[in-house]
Chain A
Amino acid sequence: MSRSALITGITGQDGGYLAEHLLSQGYEVHGLIRGQNNPRAAIVRQLVPEVHLIEGDLHDQSSLIGVLEATHPDEVYNLGAISFVALSFKQAINTGEITGLGVTRMLDSIRLVNPAIRFYQASSSEMFGKVRETPQTELTPFHPRSPYGVAKVYGHHITVNYRESYGMFAVSGILFNHESPRRGHEFVTRKITDGVARIKLGLESELRLGNLDAQRDWGFAGDYVRAMHLMLQQDEPDDFVVATGQTHSVRDLLELAFGHVGLRWEDHVVVDDRYLRPADVATLVGDAAKARRVLGWGPTVSFTELVAMMVEADLRAVSSSRAATAASAAAP
């Protein structure tokens, strides 16, 4: 009998990549989907038609118990969250309830339904916030600087707590930023590559951004979901940092993205204070030595390749949507 997995956050960037990876490993994959007639369900069905979508909500514990009883997963990957830092300042309570408490609802549901289910919690480098040491490891203390970061710290601690208190196979993957052509447009990498494509194709002339000096450790999402899966295949549950170990500034990203299409970013980028966060985090760079050693994991896509991949994808997407608009305008 094939193994079965349940993914929350199936409509997000990582949900799609993880579903594809698990399907390729022979899993039966279930994806939790919330809301009534969620418009993103159609996107998931198109991207990974083999995924079984099932309705449930991290706000509602009894719905999670029902989903676990219906799908009998061997593994649960909790990727569901309000994951955009800027939004978390505007919807702090909702972020606490979903990104934070949602983890407890799922862990508690697993404890009640079948404590042998293995659980992966998507933790985040945003937990480190105002960093106390560089690079950050599994032992670096957390100083979160956003409601999102605080909620993720909660999710991390409660995952460790369920592991230690109940002996559950519950692990926390501390993932640094990871991007792809499927990244949401609200994130800075995608905002830039989409902006570059629009400017290159003459649809726009400027791109407004916040702090250009922010430094991040950016990897490729397709690489990171492999680490999630590997963490649940170990003999003992443990927590791992997943990162490239290299940092780049938003400025570096601009150089590469605009350079890829033969433009100068200085001619198009406008710094806009509205995009500055109330309390921005400093340099984040992860030390994934433990993941390399124990999981045998390593990134396969470099930062330069990642940016090129994203710009190329956005050039195609913008061109085809322009063509579609032109075609519908020309239609009688």
Chain B
Amino acid sequence: MPATRRRALVTGVTGQDGPYLSELLLGEGYDVFGMVMPGEVVPAEVPPAVHLLEGRLTDGASLQAALTAARPAEVYNLAAATSVADSFEDAVNVADVTGVGVLRLLEAVRHVDPSIRLLQASSAEIFGGAPTSLQDESTPLCPVSPYGVAKAFAHQTVQLYRRSHRIYAATTILYNHESPRRGPGFVTRKVSIAAARIARGMERELRLGNLDVERDWGYAPDYVRAMHRALQQKGPDDYVVATGETHTLRELLDIAFAAVGLDWRQHVVSDPALLRPTEPVRLCGDASRARSRLGWAPTRGFADVIREMVAADLDRLNQGGLAPASPDPAAPRQRAPG
């Protein structure tokens, strides 16, 4: 009798983490199903071996259908409205997708097959205004943006279903994690693109908000490993996934502009219009539990990640990518789900 391949369903497969996770799962021998929204453009980074299915977190029936079709052993919920800044203008929709969406997914799991294991991509933004300088899994939630509030709802819902309905539902509380595939709206990528373009003389200045924000920035391919391992344990739990060190936006600028031989002070303008109404000042995660129980550790340091991002954007410029009108490097291609 041939061994059945394990099956996994990944929501948010078109984001930064989705393709990395898909690559990891394919490498582990999984059949991988990726959920996309009807009509969504699927970027080239999504491996062709991923089977695409349509579904929306705002539509519970579509989630049931996706689970019934994919019959996964594991579901990775990476889908969310991920921009913290945009969430201030779109709080209702953000809560519907990022918050209640997880509830719909858990209800679908409960009805279709309660033995499905679910990984929820929680975010450090749930701690937001945390009074502690180092957060771990027991730090009280204190979100300070509509995105963080919705992620907190999702996080507590997962804990509730674990306890009340005995679902294997785990969370990874992910601190910022970056890569050359980071969306151009995120600050790290905004900086790496600008450094590359300014180095090539295509641009002169970069406008940013608060330069004093401090974040715990890691490497996305490291973080998807933690997600996979969190579902291979005896029981479900919550895991902070972080490097444990913070850097300011100024340090990020130092590294990115130094990589192209420039001084950022001559190019960066701090623009009050880009400040968020409220913002966590410093988020730093204690990943002791992930290290001890999952055997997880980051493989790449902050400076290396940023340099890799700048190098990748220089390459894209060399290949004629990163046009000013559309900073998205990946030439989108349409793939029919099925």
Contact = CB atoms under 8 A, between A and B. Distances in A.
Contact of B140 (A96, A104, A141, A166): A141
A93 B92 contact: no
Interface secondary structure of A, over-half rule: helix
A112 B222 CA distance: 42
B156 interface: yes
22 contacts: A61-B92, A89-B164, A92-B103, A92-B107, A96-B99, A101-B92, A105-B92, A108-B92, A142-B140, A142-B141, A144-B160, A145-B160, A146-B160, A150-B156, A154-B95, A154-B150, A157-B149, A158-B95, A161-B143, A164-B277, A165-B88, A165-B277
A279 B100 contact: no
Interface string A81-102: 0000000010011001100110
B149 to A, nearest CB: 4
Contact-residue size bin, chain B (C-beta under 8 Å from the other chain): 20 to 34
B141 A141 contact: yes
Contacts of B103: 92-93, 96, 147
Contacts, number: 91
Given A151-B153, A161-B146, A145 B164 contact: yes
B145 interface: yes
Interface string B129-143: 000000000001101
Interface in B270-301: 277-278
A141 B155 CA distance: 14
Contacts of B104: 93
Interface secondary structure of B, over-half rule: helix
Contacts of A147: 103, 157, 160
Contact of B107 (A93, A166, A278): A93
Interface string B99-140: 110011001000000000000000000000000000000001
A145 B104 CA distance: 18
A108 B91 contact: yes
Nearest to B166: A278
Contacts of B335: none
B77 to A, nearest CB: 15
A330 B147 CA distance: 63
Contact of B152 (A107, A154, A166, A279): A154
Interface string A126-161: 000000000000000110111100110110011001
Given A93-B104, A107-B91, A154-B152, 4 more contacts: A93-B100, A96-B103, A97-B100, A141-B141
Contacts of B143: 157, 161
Contacts of A166: 277
B91 A93 contact: no
Interface of B: 60, 88, 91-92, 95-96, 99-100, 103-104, 107, 140-141, 143-146, 149-150, 152-153, 156-157, 160, 163-165, 277-278
A297 B13 CA distance: 53
Identify the interface centre among B107, B140, B143, B160: most chain A CB within 10 Å of its CB: B160
Identify the interface centre among A61, A104, A166: most chain B CB within 10 Å of its CB: A104
Contact of A101 (B88, B95, B141): B95
Interface residues of A, number: 30
B92 A104 contact: yes
A101 B100 contact: yes
Contacts of B92: 61, 101, 104-105, 108
B104 to A, nearest CB: 6
A119 to B, nearest CB: 14
B253 to A, nearest CB: 27
A236 to B, nearest CB: 17
Contacts of A97: 96, 100
A97 B93 CA distance: 11
Contacts of B157: 96, 147, 150
Contact of A161 (B99, B100, B140, B149): B149
Interface in A103-131: 104-105, 107-108
A161 B95 contact: no
Contacts of A105: 92
Contacts of B146: 104, 158, 161
B149 A164 contact: no
A96 B60 CA distance: 13
A139 to B, nearest CB: 9
B158 to A, nearest CB: 10
A141 B152 CA distance: 13
A108 B144 CA distance: 16
A161 to B, nearest CB: 6
B156 A144 contact: yes
A144 B104 CA distance: 18
A158 B147 CA distance: 10
A145 B162 CA distance: 11
A278 B60 contact: no
Contact of A154 (B99, B107, B144, B164): B99
A158 B156 contact: no
A90 to B, nearest CB: 11
A100 B99 contact: yes
B152 A153 contact: yes
A279 B277 CA distance: 37
B164 A278 contact: yes
A18 B40 CA distance: 48
A153 B143 CA distance: 11
Contacts of A89: 164
Contacts of B60: 93
Identify the interface centre among B149, B150, B164, B278: most chain A CB within 10 Å of its CB: B149
Contacts of A158: 91, 95, 146, 149
Contacts of B95: 100-101, 104, 154, 158
